[in-house]
Structure 1
Amino acid sequence: MGSVRVFDWLEHHANFRGTEKAVCDLESGRSYNWIEFNDRCSRLAGYLKHDLSIKKGDRVGVLMANSTDFLEIQFACNKVGAVFLPLNWRLTVPELVFIAGDAAPEMLICGSEFKEVADAVAAEVTCVRHVIEADGAGGKTAYEDGISRNTPLPAISDLTHDDLAAIMYTSGTTGLPKGAMITHGMTFWNAINLGMPHRISPDTVHLSVLPLFHTGGLNCYTNPVIHAGGTVYIMRNFDPVECLRIIGDPDYGLTHFFGVPANYQFMAQQPEFQKTDFSRMKTAGIGGAPVPVPLLETYHARGLSIAQGFGMTETSPTVLGLDTSEAMAKPGSTGKPVLHNEVRIVDENGEDVVPGEMGELWVRGPNITPGYWNRPDATAETITDGWLHTGDACRMDEDGFYYILDRTKDMYISGGENVYPAEVENILYQLDDVVEAAVIGLPDEKWGETGCAVLVLKAGSSVTESDVLAHCKLQLASFKIPKNVTFVKALPRNATGKILKRTLREQFEKETILQ
């Protein structure tokens, strides 16, 4: 039979849903129905193909903040058969030059605020033939001119689920970034795996706040909602007060929201949180980092059960999911495997462990990357007989629910005992004055490594190191108790809100040496 053909989501919804709202850009106020959205994407595809000579397999780099333009480029690439290459706009020119040099895009489409950066990258990477500017607001730019001048291009007919849809580069927190190859099949299966349990339908109204260059922003739940024919509101930059206003405003009719723990923490800290009406929300999803149980309890007390899950760029991303009905019955769990993939928990020898025992989570299925762009070595290290090694420490309880304990690289060994920072952080979040918490392992002459708790406290808090340690001693084994507690104004985070523990380790290891 061969591989399954890729079908055009937008053309389908233009035919069936027509004048119903598809996407809305909150920053510029631009809103498009399905006919308009499909027309713009098709005209952009014509511009790419006819004016810029972009063909199937060519990479198209995108360096811009969240907007409906971002989604238009993704779907225009799909229609041409080009490979969508979203770029992290927080990276420096040398970092972007490395990625562009590796992926070799034919062109870059950039937001106006990143035009200088894009030009600098193009000057260093000779394969980039065009730099096209878009302002994210429908202004007079080469991007809008290209759309207006071209006729709609029908979707390519010979595209299959095995063809590349995108290359998404990992954050590079442990070294040079790798480009995870994302196939059209991966994007489709994620829409199914995530869409059904999270109740995504044509009636879904989703607020997208995470960076769209990251799989969390693009695929949780933005692409699945578009696949279903729902409505997506795009926020340029996350604003906790504005998020609460939109969630509570019946005129928006919001039903879905997805964020990382930091998003939920920042919203819960606002005075408006206690007055927000969450009653219309069908699913509020959370992922990207271990979730403190007290945070789940805070939202549950306001009538909103947050659905946890687990995924990676390499898994498109959904692997595990917890239904909202069981959010508080199994707090801290990332749920069970979604329908169209399978998982294992293995020991250091790749052998399955028994329930309750910790090991590394492995994943296999149609939602898994075929490998890393230009990196057969990394692919061979990460994938064994189709099983992707996630690098995450995990256990399964007697009821079949999975718990991601931490990234195995974040685990440290103190006196021969494995310590998972997420477990300690959950205990720290029980303290009312703790706003943010990160635990890292630092070198220790006696124990090999010991924990250092780095905390952000509420303004005016009088909590001391002794208070924190006394709280930990009541609930943690001695080897898990941090040796040191440090208070800071803010924790370093990447674009999606993940705490950069490598940065913390480097900072505090250096301070330890200087002492």
Structure 2
Amino acid sequence: MPVRHYDWIAHFGRRTPDKVAAVDLASGRRFTYAQFDARISRLAAHLRRGLGIQRGDRVAVLALNTTDTLEVQFACGRIGAVFLPLNTRLTVPELHYIVGDAAPRLMVHDADLAEIALSVSKLCKVDSTLLLGPGGSYEAAIAAAKPLDEIEIVTLDDISTIMYTSGTTGQPKGVIITHGMTFWNCVNLGGPAYISPSSVLLTVLPLFHTGGLNCYTNPVLHAGGTVLIMRAFDPGLALAVISDPAQRINVFFGVPSIYQFMAQHPSFATADFSRLVNGGVGGAPMPVPLLKVWEERGVALQQGYGMTETSPAVLTLDKEDAARKAGSSGKPVLHTEVRIVTPDGRDAAVGVTGELWVKGPNITPGYWNRPDANASSFTDGWLHTGDAARIDEEGFYYIVDRWKDMYISGGENVYPAEVENVLHQLAAIAEAAVIGIASEQWGETGMAIIAVKPGHSITESEIHAHCAANLARFKRPHVIQFVDALPRNATGKIHKPTLRKNFATPAPADIAKAAAS
């Protein structure tokens, strides 16, 4: 029989009522667990009694980071509704598809995104809207409502959230997230990330993304710790908050670009990281040179691997192995099974690259309204991650790249992340991405798109020479393209579909250069 889901905020509202649960850095609001619990209770009552939100109904949120988003998440849990966080960087047509697919009854939004939120709500015939912020209908609703009289009984198997993937190929898919997935992620990450009641987390990734919500915001709240929510990532502000002893930040998580932007900030050299117990990184392959930069400042970044469909933790690297196994995503978390599968369906041998498959209680039961994706994404309960991986003799896993990012040059597989890691060894390079482009001679060849650090310079010939000294010939990018900055998605990951769209067909001179090289 499924286990009943229990409410963490309500629990700590009773157990440690006066402890600070959440801080909204932009507004300066601070909520103890008792205060947070009371607000959530009144919000849940308004959703049910005031707006008629029932079990299974979706509640959308379109807002920059705020503690209010967490209130909506937990209020939905108390009435059995489904939390629907929306990507704040999407356009009206993009959101029109997602909101139309999920069909929420309510749109909660902030003032900065009101025009988009109201436009989408009108297009999709959303019943109601609530405006966040001082003087908004959200605060008025909480103030006027009585506490929730009866909590809906839900289990770990019930849907808590629908989170839409970025849609790098085709339309985005709504990943179904259960209460159990979120719970098991808290358990799986709690040990490796050293999360405890004393944890104080600075959240900088967007809360509409699993990285912001579950690495490690929900796990810290599950442990009874404190979360500080930054409205939008600012590297200088993040460094200042971490350095401030009054804030007591001891847990942090970011994608590689977050650490890159912080490392390039002028205050990085004097920032105080002495209180950091854990600095986690995931979301994309982490350049080893950037790991070394942070290691020199006394921070052993713990790499990990996960995805929205896995809630998200799958692999984590223990802090003790961070330097010795730089580049590895670690080993499987406690309540998860993993396999590396070759194209012929066999388990890959040590050192052989294959696709990572995952199974366990932290894995999505499927995609919202997408039976086709459900059929193609699972084999006997194993989720096909779409990521290429290998394992070494000690059992450490390495994410080589996305399968779809791999290209074949002269019959050889090339994984761009490996080439990008070599490019990042050059001190003048701020950002680098490699994509495969058409080649008459080799089928495909590599193009490196590079942004140079301010005040630095580097030539194509210097890049080619470095690659020649460090990479096999078939892996070397034949074409170099310089740009001011690389396109990124909302979580800061380089968006390769945009690069392919803009650069997949090189200019005639580039084709001739590639053929000559």
**Which TM-score applies when normalising by structure 1?**
0.98
Give the match for residue 134 of structure 1: 132
Mapping of 1:161-180 within 5 angstroms? 161-180=156-175
Give the alignment partner of residue 482 of structure 2, picking from 484, 487, 497: 487
2:207 matches 1:208:
no
Aligned AA (1:473): A
AA in 2 matched with 1:336: K
Letter in 1 for 2:403: T
Corresponding residue for residue 416 of structure 2: 421
Q: Please report how far the alpha carbon of residue 350 of structure 1 lies from its aligned counterpart in structure 2 after TM superposition.
A: 2.1
In 2: Cα distance, 1:124 partner to 1:386 partner:
37
Give, as a single letter, the amino acid of the residue that structure 2 aligns with 1:130: S
Tell me if the contact between 1:428 and 1:434 (Cα under 8 Å) persists in the aligned partners: yes
Tell me, yes or no, if the aligned pair for 1:285 and 1:307 is still in contact at 8 Å: yes
* Cα distance in 1, alignment partners of residues 151 and 224 from structure 2: 21
> Within 1, Cα distance between the matches of 2:143 and 2:221?
23
> Conserved in 1, the CA contact under 8 Å of 2:20 and 2:33?
yes
* Matched residue type, 1:400: G
The answer to whether structure 1 residue 22 and structure 2 residue 21 are counterparts is yes
Give the counterpart letter for 1:186 in structure 2.
M
1:153-188 C-alpha deviation (Å, 9 max, x unpaired): 156342000100000000011110000000000000
- Give the CA deviation at 1:196: 1.4
The correspondence for 1:148, drawn from 143, 150, 162, is 143
Give the 3-state SS of the residue equivalent to 1:483 in structure 2.
Answer: strand
Kindly provide the amino acid, as one letter, of the partner of residue 29 in structure 2. Answer: R
Cα deviation code 1:125-174 (max 9, x no counterpart): 12x10011112xxx011100110111111563420001000000000111
Structure 2 residue 183 is matched with structure 1 residue 184: no
Q: Give the equivalent residue in structure 2 for 1:4.
A: 3
The match for 1:85 is 84
Residues 201, 217 of structure 2: 8 Å contact kept: yes
Aligned partners of 2:457, 2:344: CA distance in 1, in Å? 48
Q: 1:349, 1:215 → 2: CA distance?
A: 32
Q: CA RMSD in A?
A: 1.1
- Counterpart of 1:218? 213
Tell me the CA shift for residue 279 of structure 1: 1.1
- The 3-state SS of whatever aligns with 2:155 is coil
Unaligned ranges ≥5, structure 2? 511-517
% identity of equivalent residues: 58
C-alpha contact (below 8 Å) 1:79/1:154 kept by paired residues: no
* 3-state SS in 1 of match to 2:404: coil
1:37 and 2:43 matched: no
Kindly provide the amino acid, as one letter, of the partner of residue 94 in structure 2: E
In the other structure, the counterpart of 1:94 is: 93
Matching of residue 389 in structure 1 with residue 387 in structure 2: no
Q: Which runs of 5+ in 1 are unaligned?
A: none
CA distance in 2, matches of 1:154, 1:13: 19
Give how far 1:15 is off: 0.8
**Equivalent residue for 1:468, pick from 452, 463, 467:** 463
User: 1:454 and 2:452 equivalent?
Assistant: no
TM-score (norm 2): 0.97
Aligned length: 510
Give a deviation string over 1:376-397, Cα, whole Å, max 9, x none. 1101100111100000000000
Distance 2:456 2:150 in 1: 58
Q: Distance in 1 between matches of 2:191 and 2:80?
A: 27
User: What residue is the counterpart of 2:513 in the other structure?
Assistant: none
Task: Write the letter of the residue equivalent to 1:62.
Answer: V
For 1:140 and 1:84, locate their aligned partners in 2 and report how far apart those are by CA, in whole Å.
Answer: 24
Distance (whole Å) between structure 2 residues aligned to residue 82 and residue 348 of structure 1: 40
Inter-CA distance 69–404: structure 2 relative to 1 (3 Å threshold) = same
- The DSSP-based 3-state class of the residue aligned with 2:305 is strand
Inter-partner Cα distance in structure 2 for 1:111 and 1:289:
29
Tell me the secondary structure at the aligned position of residue 131 of structure 1: strand
Contact 1:341 1:366 in 2 (8 A): yes
